[in-house]
Chain A
């Protein structure tokens, strides 16, 4: 079964069509990057897939569950790390993780085990007692992703996970994201082309809400007739190639 299948997914805001008839399939365990310039429709697509925004038309199925009619089941299977770092600033790292375990209804013992596992996976154990608001941007982003993973989601949405981070923090996060590949399905939006090329199994390029192309980084470079991914992206977006 496909992890995600969108069928004519569309979102209109008055005069603006943010996402236009999107038909996209993501396989289980795959990491798909949504690429596009500002206003391409990446965040709106994620908002629809995560139940934050209702589509104007079309539907999407996450592991076979409709975002329109089975919203509860969809929410139970996803994890989301939003664009801005979304942590509770006055809560400690541990309390933030406990909060997310609690809102997903995990029993205490299970939550404790998950938190211990996330500590070792993300290196958060040493700062477990620190308030999230006092952490650096990189650590907050790590915590944000760990919070998204506590419920063992089948599908993880990472919206601009490395935005504003320095090179080292970004490299650390890349390693972390790589470690997720194959285990869960990851949808990543990013402005950093090298990030998309380095991490993605497949890349979908959007422009003005429409899907221009969808394939592996190699296929996209081949399609654009260049061996550089950033050049391929620019060519495809400029030409509006479909």
Chain B
């Protein structure tokens, strides 16, 4: 009950920010449209809608880190969080309140992206629903990254780190826009060591109904998601004690 009130507030704060709506929904859909238009004129297999849509879904989720981190950093920067620390809310209420409400937003964003992809020619299959469900560990990864960054950085720093750096890392190291094998070498090794390319490959596998193909990618994504969540919780508790 107490935690729910806090979760509801966080949902409303995220959903009522027009910039969040633009970057969370508008921007990924614009990218889908743009790249599909490019594909129509200059066919590139990577930009075929069944390849592109899962990548855009993952890229879209990377903005959730920015939304989540900005919310937490702003709460920390103002006295709002201090006020709530004087209420009967407990540490688990705060952590759940910052993590959980963003997950349904992530799912909704994925549904909208796949919905837009359907309008652009993606075939509707049962695997699409599974693809949406498989975004959950990816969503957890990005939302936990938000909790981590929001617990450490100021809202201005969060803008640079999550808004510019993380979204670019996700874009460049995920194999959405180009095949990583084209670059190869250390770049590909680094990309394969990070979770972003695995998230995209997992989504692509699920969408084409190749459930064996989600391995080993799902381990990378889930492993990173759990590790980041644990680190984020520790970072949040540390700043809570400091405040």
Residues of A participating in the B interface, judged by any CB pair closer than 8 Å: 50-52, 72, 75-76, 78, 80-91, 95, 98-105, 131, 147-148, 151
- Interchain residue pairs with CB less than 8 A apart (29): A50-B86, A51-B86, A52-B82, A52-B86, A72-B88, A75-B88, A80-B82, A80-B83, A80-B86, A81-B83, A82-B82, A86-B79, A86-B80, A86-B83, A88-B12, A89-B13, A90-B13, A91-B9, A91-B12, A95-B12, A99-B8, A100-B87, A102-B2, A102-B8, A103-B89, A104-B87, A104-B88, A105-B1, A105-B88
Could you tell me which residues of chain B, from 27 to 86, have a CB within 8 Å of some CB in chain A? Answer: 78-80, 82-86
Is B6 located at the chain interface by the 8 A CB criterion?
yes
Contacts of A95 in B (CB 8 A): 9, 12
Tell me whether A86 and B88 are in contact (CB under 8 A). no
Contacts of A85 in B (CB 8 A): 78-79
Is B190 located at the chain interface by the 8 A CB criterion?
no
Contacts of A83 in B (CB 8 A): 79
Tell me whether B79 and A103 are in contact (CB under 8 A). no
Contacts of B12 in A (CB 8 A): 88, 90-91, 95
Is B230 located at the chain interface by the 8 A CB criterion?
no
- Complex Cα gap A151–B243 (Å): 23
- Complex Cα gap A116–B40 (Å): 59
**Chain A min CB distance to B156 (Å):** 17
Tell me whether A88 and B2 are in contact (CB under 8 A). no
**When each residue 167-183 of chain B gets 1 if its CB lies under 8 Å from chain A and 0 otherwise, what string results?**
00000000000000000
Tell me whether B87 and A84 are in contact (CB under 8 A). no
Contacts of B9 in A (CB 8 A): 88, 91, 95, 99
Contacts of A100 in B (CB 8 A): 87
- Complex Cα gap A89–B6 (Å): 14
Tell me whether B2 and A105 are in contact (CB under 8 A). yes
- Complex Cα gap A90–B9 (Å): 9
Known contacts A52-B243, A72-B88, A91-B9, then 15 further A-B pairs from the complex at CB < 8 Å, ordered by chain A residue: A52-B82, A75-B86, A80-B83, A82-B79, A82-B82, A87-B80, A88-B9, A90-B16, A99-B8, A100-B87, A102-B1, A103-B5, A103-B88, A105-B88, A131-B16
Chain A to chain B: the 6 pairs with minimum beta-carbon distance, closest first: A102-B5, A82-B79, A86-B79, A86-B83, A84-B79, A90-B16
- Complex Cα gap A105–B17 (Å): 27
Residue of A nearest to B3 (CB): A103
Q: Which of A86, A103, A147 contacts B78 (CB 8 A)?
A: A86
Residue of B nearest to A73 (CB): B88
Indicate whether A98 sits within 8 Å of B5 (C-beta atoms), given known contacts A83-B79, A84-B78, A86-B80.
yes
- Complex Cα gap A101–B4 (Å): 12
**Chain B min CB distance to A195 (Å):** 20
Residue of A nearest to B240 (CB): A52
Tell me whether A51 and B79 are in contact (CB under 8 A). no
Indicate whether A103 sits within 8 Å of B85 (C-beta atoms), given known contacts A82-B79, A90-B12, A90-B17.
no
- Complex Cα gap A107–B9 (Å): 17
Residue of B nearest to A49 (CB): B86
Q: Which of A78, A84, A98, A102 contacts B86 (CB 8 A)?
A: A78
**Chain A min CB distance to B25 (Å):** 17
Contacts of B8 in A (CB 8 A): 99, 102
Q: Which of B1, B4, B85, B88 contacts A52 (CB 8 A)?
A: B85
- Complex Cα gap A75–B89 (Å): 9
- Complex Cα gap A87–B74 (Å): 11
Residue of B nearest to A147 (CB): B83
Residue of A nearest to B15 (CB): A90
Residue of A nearest to B12 (CB): A91
Contacts of A91 in B (CB 8 A): 9, 12-13
